[in-house]
């Protein structure tokens, strides 16, 4: 592996950390779990996994990660959030706890558990703009949707009228869990974003 290849961090506070690490490793890149501020220094992009968004937001403060992660994101470090990760990256959360503070890395308002509870989880085939090879399997588990997207945010996919995949510059977010579907095309898209952002 050459030194020019990106190193991707996966926020490892809670959720589908292992699944993202395995998917990224399958693409031949170095992927590391991130739990401490010093571990943010040497990564080129970060994945915020699906899980429980209130817990992840709280643990960002417990592990003193909020400020250094916000700083790296503000400097343009690419990020990819799936399900809870979308909520954590959002500007504003509807139906969240009053003390649940997102990172405001992408200009979206999200609604938590918008598709219903655990028993309402579902899988569907979804066409995603910018992803070649036909539709991809999308697994929705207590998933959010985007209630409002900022003017410069690109909507990549919808379920009905609701955006479920969005992108702005170096930030990608999905309501669903590509890390559990066996389809790595969104991770490939994210890696392309990381390489482009770094000018590799």
Find the catalytic residue in 19, 168, 179, 187.
179
Q: Is the confidence at residue 191, as pLDDT, over 50?
A: yes
Name the token pair of 61. 């403060």
Could you read off the pLDDT of 21-38 as tens digits, one per residue?
999 999 999 999 999 999
Range of the domain at 156: 7-198
Active site residue 83: yes
Q: What is the pLDDT of residues 123-134, one digit of tens each?
A: 999 999 999 999
- How many angstroms separate the CA atoms of 158 and 172, rounded? 14
Please tell me which residue in 20, 168, 177, 187 is annotated as part of the active site: 177
User: Of these residues, 20, 57, 83, 187, which one is catalytic?
Assistant: 83
**CATH of residue 60:** 3.40.50.880
pLDDT at 2: 39
**79, 86 contact by CB (below 8 A):** no
pLDDT digits (tens, 9 = 90+) for 137-190: 999 999 999 999 999 999 999 999 999 999 999 999 999 999 999 999 999 999
- Please tell me the total count of domains within the chain: 1
> Is 47:17 a contact under the CB 8 Å cutoff?
no
3-state class (DSSP) for residue 12: coil
Q: Is 187 annotated as catalytic? A: no
**Which residue shows structure tokens 């503000």?**
74
In a domain? residue 47: yes
């Amino acid at each position: 592996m050459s030194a020019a290849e990106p190193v991707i961090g996966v926020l490892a506070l809670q959720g589908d950390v292992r699944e993202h690490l395995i998917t990224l490793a399958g693409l031949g890149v170095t992927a590391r779990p991130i739990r401490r501020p010093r571990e943010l220094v040497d990564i080129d992009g970060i994945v915020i996994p699906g899980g429980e968004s209130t817990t992840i937001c709280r643990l960002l403060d417990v592990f003193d990660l909020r400020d250094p992660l916000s700083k790296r994101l503000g400097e343009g470090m690419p990020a990819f959030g799936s399900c809870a990760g979308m909520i954590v990256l959002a500007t504003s959360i509807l139906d969240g706890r009053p003390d649940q503070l997102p990172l405001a890395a992408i200009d979206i308002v999200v609604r938590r558990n918008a598709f219903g509870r655990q028993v309402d989880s579902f899988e569907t085939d979804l066409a995603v703009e910018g992803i070649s090879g036909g539709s991809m399997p999308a697994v929705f588990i207590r998933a959010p949707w985007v209630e409002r997207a900022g003017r410069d945010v690109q909507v990549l996919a919808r379920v009905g009228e609701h955006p479920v995949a969005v992108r702005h510059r170096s930030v990608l977010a999905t309501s669903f869990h590509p890390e559990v579907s066996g389809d790595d095309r969104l991770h490939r898209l994210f890696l392309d974003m990381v390489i482009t952002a770094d000018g590799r």
